[in-house]
Amino acid sequence: MESINVREKLNLIDDHWNPRIIGELNGQQVKVAKIEGEFVWHNHKNEDELFYIIKGKLIIEFRDKEVELNEGEMIIVPKGVDHKPIAEQEVWIMLFEPKNIKHTGNVEHKLTVKKFKKI
């Protein structure tokens, strides 16, 4: 067991929309990513997903509303709910997701990551 410095891990990332695994617990993966711009509409049929904002402001669009998240805030997107993250400027996020989650659900897109790397 060793401590994990989340900011140091994020400083290793130089691309967007490509989450990296920094830890695992109870079948969940803890991931960090830098994001900027618009992602793709998608949902995760069988998995909930937690977004925690480390730096910046993230908007998550849902079919019926949008939610703005600021530093230190988080949201849990329930399984099956369509959503689209949008970052007008670079945002640093932490994600808690089941190990078997598909990055963009059943949507294939140029931003889809098939295999997450550990850092």
Per-domain boundaries in the chain: 6-103
Contact predicate 67/5, CB 8 Å:
no
CATH superfamily for domain 6-103: Jelly Rolls (2.60.120.10)
Render pLDDT for 41-84 as a digit per residue (tens, 0 to 9). 999 999 999 999 999 999 999 999 999 999 999 999 999 999 99
Render pLDDT for 16-42 as a digit per residue (tens, 0 to 9). 999 999 999 999 999 999 999 999 999
Of 30, 33, 10, nearest to 99 (Cα)?
30
Q: Which residue spans within the chain are E strands per DSSP?
A: 20-25, 28-38, 49-55, 58-62, 66-69, 74-77, 83-98, 117-118
